[in-house]
Structure 1
């Protein structure tokens, strides 16, 4: 039985900061503004998009859209405020989440949007799973995923009253949710569960037994008219010159978004900070990518089909030979010629270093005073570090040991501040509660490190942990 909002004790470590809009009049006003913006998009771009505008009323619309996806499916106000869980990394670099709740109440994960109603003290552990590995054969022909797959564990299992599994189906006008099921994989076999309730962004399963769980939708002939909430993500490929962008159209699925970010960061690509939410799109339709400046787009048409987080997501590559003051990008439904998304990309959004929304801002270059010192060009020849270009660096060889055995992390970070880390990165790493999690957060920046950066970190470790470094070098 679902607990009412007044009966719930909400475990809230980090509350949402997005504004709430109450009352039917305000919601109607917001929808009218959104409709007006849709009408303007039919005739091209306005001088500034709704998300880029400094007008406070339009900014409020943008924040509401950020919260509510397509702008028409309203968030459930009974959900608890989002809480940041503990993040756990295994030796293979796979991310998992854990939270311990002291008693009866509700919990919503800020990382995954997974929610729980609990009846007693419980420890919850969960991670993303692979649809490709679990939804196979005849099951894959009859059902399609419409949300992330989770591997969930609860100790004790009976303490969980209900789990709210995220989905990206746009239910506006979809009064019939009979095609939705919750897929529960038991010993490798699919067991279909009927959700107790279907909410705009969650399917609720009560008194669940846990393993792999995710929301499914029955495939039918009308799958082409299947409306979903979606995102547009833009990444700047910094290794390609002068300016090359990757534009993705994906369902509003955090597991897919996370997989794209990890893939792009491995290639030193960084996200360009533009509003990602689109109008609701349809599976099986084609969407045209276009822009206002002389640019090359390949492919210009994205055929939208669902691909799990463990599959390569399609994207359009956008090439700009010259970065002009602003470039207007749009995504249109090819069949209906309707604008589904648009944004203005300005010169300042693409820094020469390739720094985007998620880019490390430290230059990883030594201060000018050090570069001018005699013998600086010989850096990188630190014994045990990067002695030759063919050998692996000390940090690459001993990453796992350093994460597990470095205890005094703050002192190391203090030595790196200004050279390897900027203040934002420094604060973000220190915000982690344990030495293990701090070192993992530090090593997440490794793809952006130059050999000089690695040598500088080696020196800092050797200064603060000489015995550990000596032991690892034996």
Structure 2
């Protein structure tokens, strides 16, 4: 990611959900990197990774605060001792733990940052109770398997893991269902069930909920049915609990041709790109419209900058 911010203010990247508070015009570049390349064995056992690890290049003097996204469950924040939520700051082969200035339901604020590698963690050593995190369910229909075969992934709400699954399931159809799961716990086992007699689910035992690092296998449930014309109901439970954490209904219409979806998506993207080009060419009152479009994630910060860099028709006439 690369952003050139033309004046002081508060900014949000719609792609990464990072927010910035800057005092003046500045340039920021950043990308994600792998936690496992920087963690020691002791750190892996004493920290909970609570967000992506960011490699950031910027002038610290221009930036008063950075807001880093996290996937700690909001219900846990009231019970969690704030000093346990920290920013791991890796630099020159060593790491320091910085206190979070503020903690919001979806992000952690780090004021007066010094940039290198930054990521949100929770220290486990003084903590007795497990920490709830936000869970996510992703359902894919395998196009190559027999009859109806679904792959169901239960993961923390982590963009890096989502991208890894999308890459792994390339060629499969992503079935959009309500993804959010109630509070889940790393190290606990969860069980996928179905009341439908014709449905087979493997493995039959629980799957451990964990943060999967790059290169490790991401476990999933395989759901199979011979009957392509009936709904498949799915429930997610914690082991030894009847409380339903997530429920979804996969209908025959959800299993339509992947090729049709790809073609429709391509047509949508083509239309969307054309509208964006027209937006850049024809809008006369730029700033307020761009701000609203950015708030609704219709355009990105880069596209906003591209639009504002072009003089409007009224400006050309002056």
Alignment of 1:140-179 (within 5 A): 140-154=44-58, 156-172=59-75, 173-179=78-84
- Show the counterpart of 2:142: 237
- 2:263 is aligned to 361
- Equivalent residue for 1:401? none
Contact kept, 8 Å, 2:60 with 2:112, in 1: the verdict is no
Q: Structure 2: any 5+ residue segments left out of the alignment?
A: 278-318
Shift of 1:320: 1.7
Query: CA 1:223/1:169 → structure 2, altered by over 3 Å: closer, same or farther?
Result: farther
8 Å contact 1:223–1:283 — kept in the other structure? Answer: no
1:429 is displaced (CA, Å) by 5.3
Query: Is 1:211 the counterpart of 2:211 in the alignment?
Result: no
Tell me the TM-score normalised to structure 2 length. Answer: 0.79
Alpha carbons 1:132, 1:310 under 8 Å: kept: no
CA contact (8 A) 1:224 1:285 kept: no
Shift of 1:428: 4.6
How many residues are paired up? Answer: 273
Q: Which has the higher contact order (CA 8 A, sep 6+)?
A: 2
1:307 aligns with 2:212: yes
After superposition, residues 58-69 of structure 1 pair within 5 angstroms as: none
1:263: how far off?
2.2
2:195 matched residue in structure 1: 292
Q: State the match for 2:316 in structure 1.
A: none
TM-score normalized with structure 1 length? 0.54
Match of 2:8? Answer: 104
Displacement of 1:310: 5.1
Contact 1:166–1:202 (CA under 8 A) maintained in structure 2: yes
Q: Is the 8 A contact 2:188 2:208 kept in 1?
A: yes
Q: 1:215 to 1:346 in 2, by over 3 A?
A: same
Pick from 277, 280, 283 the counterpart of residue 180 of structure 2.
277
Q: Distance in 2 between matches of 1:165 and 1:259?
A: 21
2:107 equivalent in structure 1: 202
C-alpha distance 176-196 of structure 1, shift in aligned 2 (>3 A): same
Deviation at 1:170, TM superposition (A): 1.8
Quick one: which of 237, 243, 247 aligns to 2:152? Answer: 247
Please name the residue that 2:23 is paired with: 119
Q: Cα–Cα, structure 1 residues 229 and 309, in superposed 2: closer, same or farther, change >3 Å?
A: farther
In structure 1, distance between residues paired with 2:157 and 2:3:
24
Structure 2 match to 1:131? 35
Which structure dedicates a bigger proportion of its chain to strand?
A: 2
Distance across 2 between alignment mates of 1:151 and 1:250: 24
Return the index of the structure with the highest Cα Rg: 1
The answer to whether the Cα contact below 8 Å between 2:72 and 2:134 also exists between their aligned partners in 1 is: yes
SS at match of 1:200: coil
SS at match of 1:280: strand
Which residue does the alignment assign to 1:92?
none
**Residue 66 (structure 1) aligns with:** none
Asked if the contact 2:32–2:52 (Cα under 8 Å) also holds between the matched residues in 1, the reply is yes
